Structure 1
């Protein structure tokens, strides 16, 4: 990790280039990922996020594998020493307790928390099993974006249970905004950092919700700089189909080292 990397950015950006809306060809994603790891901002870049079927074509690169509950062991065996983490989606029929079987893998496991009445029970099981959560924060349809209240509840519950989490999808910009093309209400990844900090400080769910809803870019940026290291112990990373896009936002907000700027713009 580069000494130039701000603490709040260390390993924050999981490289999910092959997933929507980026949909990069796998070979291009692998080549781009290698370039990111040679850049000044390499310390901000996490693993390449792939599917189990992609593993034979990615070469010797650290990966996070997205897979189903019934395919976890296949992914684990296929990835070998390249495996940084497994990201597991629970089928609609799965009971919360089924996540406990994943604790035996011996690697980082992130379980996507369903947006239904199983959510709190799943988080409780993840706490018992020592696993991590994954929150979906957007997608190609408006209904895939949780409201500020729903996401605040998820973050507050995860923090209360001591469950670290990552986020995925929809975090295209640093600060909350309305997408001018789609009209979707997009969460900002800096807002999530601030909201996590508030939850760790014991704030109410409504205060955490207010942090997610904030649109004043300067105020959000200032709040991020005041966060302690415990925030990143809780909010581990987020998947992004573009590494340059979040860095460009951070450069505009004057949150990047000047040595990064040419490559991040």
Structure 2
């Protein structure tokens, strides 16, 4: 196994078995996650994604699954809200759920990441000051929890004015991270939705390219979700559209940092469907003539390109085996 491949894939997959298209029951998905933690490929596995509203359902597992091995790592998922007032009310509900969750399970669980959709009202207002206030209040609320998340990943919306709206969201995150008066150290990152169960849910190559470059420009951490079950861009017959690949998205982002890619260059990486144009060596990851070093991959995965959620841990590994990488 090449060193750069190990660095690229280390703890990159957040398990989202609860969500479509897998849509597993809580018990089935938890049992699968527990078994994956014992698998020889567990080094690629990161957190279990769970909606905040379902944390109470985990209480019966405190003396069984959670008692085994390393603490269970969770990413806590907020729901979509329309208005800012609904969003703030939802925050308080999440805080209450988190406090009870940690009271029930103590150091057998961790919740270092929070994912939440920005309220539509805030996104469509195109008001950077309003968004900064929202990030600050979110961090303040979670800072009151004993085991508060280190990072909160805010998801935006791709609408008809997506370039302007996503731009304001990302620029305001940078402003918050660099000027926050919060003393809890919680940082804002961006959550990029890369797919879904319908073609309309898959962002265009242009939207993903713009976002990856803007995230880099604003020095933000990135977490992805949905649609990245396979390493290379491909046509999905069930969704009836082409889906993004995690080599394209994460590899493109890494190469963007290494070579200051333009949007046009990023688009070319995201469009790539030829597996022969991607390669790993001990020294780095390469797409065509562009390379990013293993050392840079390790650093980027630590601070900038965090993980992606997938409802399958098997499909990515099966593809990687076929490519001779596992």
Query: What's the TM-score once normalised by structure 1's chain length?
Result: 0.88
Distance 1:182 1:62 in 2: 31
Determine if the alignment matches structure 1 residue 231 to structure 2 residue 266: no
- Number of positions where the alignment pairs a residue of Structure 1 with one of Structure 2: 254
Unaligned runs of 5+ in 1: 257-265
Contact between 2:55 and 2:98, CA under 8 Å: does it hold in 1?
no
Give the match's secondary structure for 2:195.
coil
**Distance (Å, rounded) in 1 between the aligned partners of 2:101 and 2:221:** 23
SS of residue matched to 2:306: strand
Q: Distance between the aligned counterparts of 1:79 and 1:190, measured in 2? A: 35
- The one-character-per-residue Cα deviations of 1:77-134 (angstroms, maximum 9, x if unpaired) are 2443531211011121125231232233342211112223421121122222331110
Measure the CA separation in 2 of the matches of 1:206 and 1:25. 42
Query: Could you say what secondary structure the match of 2:120 adopts?
Result: coil
Alignment partner of 1:118 is 2:165: yes
Task: Note if contact 1:178-1:186 (Cα within 8 Å) is conserved in structure 2.
Answer: yes
Taking the aligned partners of 1:163 and 1:79, their CA distance within structure 2 comes to 29
Contact 2:16 2:309 (C-alpha < 8 Å) held by counterparts: yes
What are the equivalent positions in structure 2 for 1:192-211 lying under 5 Å apart? 192-200=249-257, 201-211=259-269
Structure-2-length-normalised TM-score: 0.73
Moved more, 74-83 or 127-136: 74-83
The reply on whether 1:140 has 2:201 as its aligned counterpart is no
3-state secondary structure, aligned to 1:131: strand
Deviation of residue 152 (structure 1)?
A: 0.4
Given the alignment of the two structures, is residue 83 of structure 1 paired with residue 111 of structure 2, yes or no? Answer: yes
Match for residue 260 of structure 1? none
Q: In the alignment, does 2:16 pair up with 1:16?
A: yes
Task: Name the SS for the 2:75 alignment partner.
Answer: strand
The counterpart of 1:179, out of the listed 225, 229, 236, is: 236
CA contact (8 A) 1:100 1:126 kept: no
Note closer, same or farther for the CA distance 1:88–1:78 as it changes in structure 2 (3 Å cut). farther
Stretch moving more, 92-101 or 202-211: 92-101
Kindly indicate whether the alpha-carbon contact (under 8 Å) linking 1:221 and 1:255 is maintained by their aligned counterparts in 2. no
- Unaligned runs of at least 5 residues, structure 2: 67-71, 80-86, 103-108, 123-129, 143-147, 178-186
- Residues 49-90 of structure 1: CA deviation (Å, up to 9, x unaligned): 011222123333321111144323234324435312110111
Matched-pair contact (CA < 8 Å) for 1:193–1:224? no
Determine the C-alpha separation between the residues in 1 that align with 2:320 and 2:96. 38
Specify the alignment match of 1:100 in structure 2. Answer: 136
Is the partner of 1:6 in helix, strand or coil?
helix
Partner of 2:275: 217
Give 1:185 deviation, angstroms: 1.3
Task: State how far apart, in whole Å, the 1-side matches of 2:154 and 2:100 are.
Answer: 19
